[in-house]
A and B are shown apart, each in its own frame.
Chain A
Amino acid sequence: MTHAVLSIADLSVALPAGGDRAHAVQGVSLDIRAGQTLCVVGESGSGKSVMATSVMGLLDKALRPDAGQILLKGESLLDAAPARLRQLRGQAMGMVFQEPMTALNPVMTCGDQVDELLATHTDWSAARRRAEILQVFERVRLPEPERMLRSYPHQLSGGQRQRIVIAMAVILKPALLICDEPTTALDVTTQKEILRLIADLQREQGSAVLFITHDMGVVAEIADEVLVMHQGRAVECGPKDEVLRRPREAYTRQLLAAVPGMTPPAPRPEPSGAALLSGQGVGKTYIARDWLGRARPTQALRDAAVAVRAGETVGIVGESGSGKSTFARCLIRLIDPSEGQIRWGQDEVAALPENRLRPLRHRVQVVFQDPNRSLNPRRTVGQSMVEGAMNFGQSRAEAEALAVALMAQVRLPVEALQRYPSQFSGGQRQRLAIARALACKPQVLVADEAVSALDVSVQAQILKLLREAQDRLGLGLLFITHDLRVAAQLCDRVIVMHQGRIVEQGATAALYANPQQDYTRRLFDAAPAALPPMEGTLA
């Protein structure tokens, strides 16, 4: 066995007193050899990022490692002086973070930022540095390296920015590359390219890669070894195939089972009846004016149509900027469409003023993406729950009785009504948001990326909850998501959007089996690899 590049033995990192547990990371050991990729996978709060930051020596001051050791090529990092750590970062270990926009300095050109790194760590001449930067930009496959050199981060796309960050991480050919959720903020097609790039670079220079992710699909794609973490402890560690196909631990099994598959389930019978929510030729044009008052229109949405019937789930999928959220917001009339018809039941609402819209608003309700911000932090859950029902004419007593009943439906204790949103976890808050929407007795529920910010196991619970509510109340569900796997599991019909237009739509099973359009095919190809079937279960 060759010598490990990074070796962590029995690492524990203490949390400040008063937290929900004593250690962020407890007794974790791992080894990565040159040319190997170790994926650390776990849900939020599992301690995976804390472990990565302790390797880099960038831990928050409130956290302190209190046991174990971290060896980088035999050198102890926990005992290293700050100056030595600075030297090692960049030279012996490169880092790629989740959000490239915040990892780069917005007021420096990309070229200058990479140059600063080289000037710090090498004694190369300016000409040599420039040549090296151009070369590394080629290696990370940035188009027009010369132009990239002079560009500011905001002038590049998300994928290009991440390539710059990767270029900075690999330019000094570090022995260890640490990637902390490097593709989480990116679209699937971009994610695919970045993952391939990381794998290629690793092969070229034989680095060891420590890859932090929450996405089992990404693990299946790039890992050699997998470490599963839960509540700060290592649950299971082993070669990828072992862990994904023959998980030993119940937690790993549960985590894998919660990942939705790309294969849609058998179709449900098609609902009959009139559409409860429909749009025809909906468009939205934003007009920006320059200082002379000249209009510069941007078409965010063009000629979009949808119809949602009772008991049916329609999915809208697309990457960021595809117009799917704009479309949803137009349909709920949170923004005013520039053109087209929108019907809630029989009523045409596209041009209705807010005061005439209000009595109809109970028909269409909405659940948003970010559970942290979808409930007013200054009001108790109970106050938030009764607001809608009381707006639609119920008395306080009726609304409160309804809120109590809804708590049971979303499986939260009745005492929850007296608490503030900050006292709940993300998944619980999302249940509260669903309960708040259901309190208005809607006909259609619009879920705008409602499970995208949640861990897979929580995601599965919320999806189940939505399904139950749909079956019980005959709700029409309009489900906006960027996650093709979730859409496959939940939706009866799927609409694919790209650049403000509907590209393709159809019954889920047919669409996934046989996409007609180029763009749809590319989108489906880019989705992270399907997990290999677990042995010993009927998956």
Chain B
Amino acid sequence: MKSVVRKLLAHSAIRFGMSVLGLLILLAALAPWLGTVDPAAMDSANINTQAGVAGQFTLLDGTSLAHTFWMGSDNFGRDIYSRVLYGTRVSLLVGLLTAVVALLAGGLLGMLAGYFRTLDMVLMRFMDGLMAIPAILLAIALVAAMGAKLWTVIVAIAIPEIPRVTRLVRSLVLTLREEPFVEAAKALATPTPVILLRHILPNAMAPLIVQGTFIAASAVLTEAILSFLGLGLPADIPTWGNIMAEGRVQFTQYPGNVLFPALFLVPTVLAINLLGDGLRDVLDPKFAKRSAG
């Protein structure tokens, strides 16, 4: 196990991805102490402030405090810097939870389809049908049907990812179930659920983790797109997507309202994808490089 950790840390893409993500997690966690104000608070005295201007900010309860608008404010007088930092929380949470939901559901369905041949036909045709619907359209339809709340958005983004995970897990299970150690376990009278959890799942973990990072990256992006389209989280929860959506109308005069959240979004997706690439190099022997360069 120790050598795996060392190999992971030796990989430059993993180091980069982990550092960027670590920094973002830190920013998100420490948001209240990094010179932010309530991200939902509107101050009519500070509408469309330029980035970097220092001034007074009046909170909803009337208290006034000295505040620097590092990224300016929007046309409702909300502080963009605070909104972007609090938005980081939402984006990372959506990325992580979407990956978890998709992996759990897809992993379970994939194991069932791969191990029980009778279920395979029905499940996989259903998944094929699901895959025929464009992911973003499906997510929009699901949010529209379930209403826009944090958990509905996560579920709506996760569902289109499930068929891909199911296919991956199914193909892994189809190979693993023929492995002698699985047959040996069967001969040792190990019950089928235990075989699946103890012998098959751990050996399918590496590609699953890799797939999970890619899902997380695309979930962060999809959430931003949904919010940008006005179909994501309600406006009182700041996310990178709805900050950009609200900034769009004034883009020519105040480009910062779109650019600052984008400056967070792009490295986040890049970092998660690089992390995934790196994990694949290290964990998945099929993609392992001949010699570490």
Contacts and interface: CB of A to CB of B under 8 A. Distances in A.
A378 B189 contact: no
B187 A387 contact: no
Contacts of B191: 358, 391
Contact of A388 (B179, B181, B188, B192): B188
B187 A365 contact: yes
Contacts of B2: none
Contact of B189 (A358, A366, A370, A436): A358
Contact of B181 (A61, A362, A375): A375
Contacts of A384: 181
A373 B187 contact: no
A364 B187 contact: yes
Interface string A380-392: 0000100110011
Contacts of B192: 354
Nearest to A361: B189
A429 to B, nearest CB: 11
A61 B290 contact: yes
Interface residues of A, number: 33
A370 B180 contact: yes
A62 interface: yes
B188 A440 contact: yes
B23 interface: no
A433 interface: yes
Contacts of A436: 184, 188
Interface string B75-93: 0000000000000000000
Given A334-B183, A370-B180, A436-B184, A376 B189 contact: no
A524 interface: no
Interface residues of B, number: 19
Interface string A428-454: 000001001100100000000000000
A192 to B, nearest CB: 30
A373 B180 contact: yes
A332 interface: yes
A362 B181 CA distance: 16
A368 B187 CA distance: 11
A517 B198 CA distance: 48
A392 B188 CA distance: 8
Nearest to B186: A334
A374 B184 contact: yes
A368 B180 contact: yes
B67 interface: no
Given A61-B290, A376-B203, A378-B202, A387 B188 contact: yes
Given A368-B180, A378-B202, A392 B187 contact: no
B162 to A, nearest CB: 25
A321 interface: no
Counting chain B CB atoms within 10 Å of each CB, the highest count among A357, A359, A376, A440 belongs to: A376
Contacts of A354: 192
A334 B188 contact: no
B187 A332 contact: yes
A368 B199 CA distance: 17
Contacts of A368: 180, 183-184
Interface string B164-196: 000000000000000111011111111110000
A11 B290 CA distance: 25
Contacts of B189: 357-359, 361-362, 388, 391-392
A419 interface: no
A388 B184 CA distance: 9
A378 B203 contact: yes
A373 B290 contact: no
Interface string B252-293: 000000000000000000000000000000000000001100
Contacts of B180: 368-370, 373-374
Contacts, number: 68
A384 to B, nearest CB: 8
Contacts of B190: 387-388, 391
A239 interface: no
Interface string A127-170: 00000000000000000000000000000000000000000000
B179 A373 contact: yes
A521 interface: no
A387 B185 contact: yes
A430 to B, nearest CB: 11
A377 interface: yes
Given A62-B291, A368-B183, A370-B180, A379 B198 contact: yes
A18 B6 CA distance: 15
Contacts of A332: 187
Nearest to A391: B189
Interface in B134-182: 179-181
A391 to B, nearest CB: 5
Contacts of A378: 202-203
A361 B290 contact: no
Contacts of B185: 376, 387
A126 B180 CA distance: 49
Contacts of A375: 181, 184
Nearest to A370: B180
A334 B203 contact: no
Contacts of A387: 185, 188, 190
Nearest to B202: A378
Q: Which 10 pairs from chain A and chain B are nearest by CB? A: A388-B188, A368-B180, A361-B189, A378-B202, A374-B180, A358-B189, A376-B181, A391-B189, A366-B187, A373-B180
17 contacts: A62-B291, A334-B187, A365-B187, A366-B187, A368-B180, A370-B180, A373-B179, A373-B180, A375-B184, A377-B181, A387-B190, A388-B188, A388-B189, A391-B191, A392-B189, A436-B184, A440-B188
Interface of B: 179-181, 183-192, 198-199, 202-203, 290-291
Interface of A: 60-62, 332, 334, 354, 357-359, 361-362, 364-366, 368-370, 373-379, 384, 387-388, 391-392, 433, 436-437, 440
Given A370-B180, A373-B180, 19 more contacts: A334-B187, A358-B189, A359-B189, A361-B187, A361-B188, A364-B187, A365-B188, A368-B184, A373-B181, A376-B181, A379-B198, A379-B199, A387-B185, A391-B189, A391-B190, A391-B191, A436-B188, A437-B184, A437-B187
